[in-house]
Amino acid sequence: MGRTVVAANWKMHKTAGEARTYVEKLLELVPSRLEFELIVFPSATALYVVAQVLRGSPIAWGAQNAHWETQGAYTGEISVNQVADLGAAYVLCGHSERRHLFGEDDATVAAKVRSVLAGGLVPVLCVGETLEQRRGGDAWDVVTAQLSAALKDIGPDAADRLVVAYEPVWAIGTGVAAQPEDAQSMAHDIRSWLTELFGSEGAEIPVQYGGSVKPNNADAFLQLPDVDGALVGGASLDPKEFWTIACSAVPR
Ligand code: PEP
C-alpha cells in the first residue's frame, strides 16, 4: 500500500500562541504511531512554536510558501533553508490562492518545486481547474499543464519525495466539495500521468484530494482507491475536527 498524507492548511490564521494551543491539543488526540503522514501547515510566524511542540512526535509540519532562491534581497520572503532550519519537512507549492491571488505562474511554481527538492524537503504540489475550465471540459488539460510545468525538469530519483494535491479551485473554501467519483477519476488519471513520467516510482506518489473536506464527507474521499489523503483548509482550524477527518484515512 502506498503512502497516505493528511495535511492541515491553516492559511493566514492563528497567532503563535493559538498555534501552540492547537498543536498541544492535536498531540493529545494522536496516538504515538500513525498509519499515515499527518502534517500541519501553519503561518511562517508560528513555525517556530509548532516545531517546539511537535519535535519528536508523529506529526510533521511544513511551510505554506517559500521563495525559490536560497537567500538574497527578497524583502518579505522566506527561504527553504529558513523553514528547513525550523524542522519543516514539507512546503506547499502552487496552492490556488498563491496562483490566483498572488499571480504565481507555472514557471514560479516550477522554480519553487525545484528549490524545495534541492533543500531536501517535500513539495506538496497543488493542481486544479477553475469552475469555468471544468464547465468548458478543460479540467484535465489544465491539470496536466500544471503538472507538466512543475515536474518536467524533475528526475525520477525525486519521485519518492513528492506529494500531489488535486484541488479543484471551485471547491476550495466554498463548502462545495467535488463529487467523490470526479475526485477518484482525476486522482486515477494523475497517477497514470505520474507513472508515465516517472515509471513505477510515479505510481507511488501520494495524490491527495483537497476542497471543502469536512468530517461528514471525509470518508467519501479518503476511502477512494486512488485518493491517498486530503489537504484540508477551513475544517483543519479546529484540532478535533481535523483529527476526525484524518481518522478517515485509516485503511479499512
Ligand atoms: C485548501 O486550502 O487547500 C483547502 C482545500 O481549503 P478548504 O478545505 O477550506 O476548501
Residue 252 within a domain: no
Answer whether residue 101 is part of any domain. yes
Q: Which residue has the cell 507513472?
A: 195
Distance CA 169, CA 134 (A): 10
Residues 6+ apart with CB under 8 A from 76: none
Which residues sit with their C-beta closer than 6 Å to ligand 1?
9, 11, 167, 172-173, 210-213, 231-235
Residues 6 or more apart whose CB falls under 8 angstroms from that of 56 comprise none
Measured CA to CA, the distance from residue 223 to residue 236 in angstroms comes to: 19
Residue with cell 510566524: 45
pLDDT tens track of the chain, all 252 residues?
A: 579 999 999 999 999 999 999 999 999 999 999 999 999 999 999 999 999 999 999 999 999 999 999 999 999 999 999 999 999 999 999 999 999 999 999 999 999 999 999 999 999 999 999 999 999 999 999 999 999 999 999 999 999 999 999 999 999 999 999 999 999 999 999 999 999 999 999 999 999 999 999 999 999 999 999 999 999 999 999 999 999 999 999 987
Q: Three-state SS for 115? A: helix
Task: Tally the domains of the chain.
Answer: 1
Give the residue among 72, 147, 138 at the shortest CA–CA distance from 109: 147
Q: Does residue 195 lie within any of the structural domains?
A: yes
Is 30 inside any structural domain?
yes
Q: Ligand 1 centre and the CA of 85: distance in Å?
A: 27
Q: Is 112 a member of any domain?
A: yes
pLDDT for res 38: 98
Look at the pTM and tell me if it is higher than 0.95.
Answer: yes
User: In this structure, is residue 21 part of a structural domain?
Assistant: yes
Q: What is the spatial distance between Cα 81 and Cα 1, in angstroms, rounded to a whole number?
A: 32
Q: What is the pLDDT of residue 252?
A: 75
- The pLDDT, as a whole number, for residue 251 is 81
Q: How far is the CA of 212 from the centre of ligand 1 (A)?
A: 6
Do the domain assignments include residue 113?
yes
In-domain check, residue 99: yes
- Nearest residue (by CA) to ligand 1, atom 1, is 233
CA of 73 to the centre of ligand 1 (A): 31
Tell me what pLDDT residue 100 has: 96
To test ligand 1's pocket by mutation, which of 213, 227, 244 has the most ligand atoms within 8 angstroms of CB? 213
Q: Which of 117, 150, 124, 41 is nearest to 86 (CA)?
A: 41
Give the domain extent around 224: 5-247
Where do the H-state alpha helices sit in the chain? 16-29, 47-54, 80-85, 96-101, 106-118, 131-135, 139-151, 180-198, 200-203, 218-222, 239-247
- Fill in the amino acid letter for 32: S
Closest residue by Cα to atom 7, ligand 1, is 233
- b (16+ CB within 10 A) / e for 8-39: bbbbebbeeeebbebbeebeeebeeebebbbb
By most ligand atoms within 8 Å of CB, the mutation choice from 5, 9, 166 for ligand 1 is: 9
Q: Whose alpha carbon is nearest atom 3 of ligand 1?
A: 233
CATH number of the domain within which 218 lies: 3.20.20.70
Beta carbons within 8 Å of 215's beta carbon, 6+ residues apart: 235, 241, 244, 245
Gap from CA of 67 to ligand 1 centroid (Å): 22
Question: Which atom of ligand 1 is least distant from the CA of 177?
Answer: 10
pLDDT number for residue 2: 78
Distance from residue 72's CA to the centre of ligand 1 (Å): 31
Catalytic residues: 95, 167
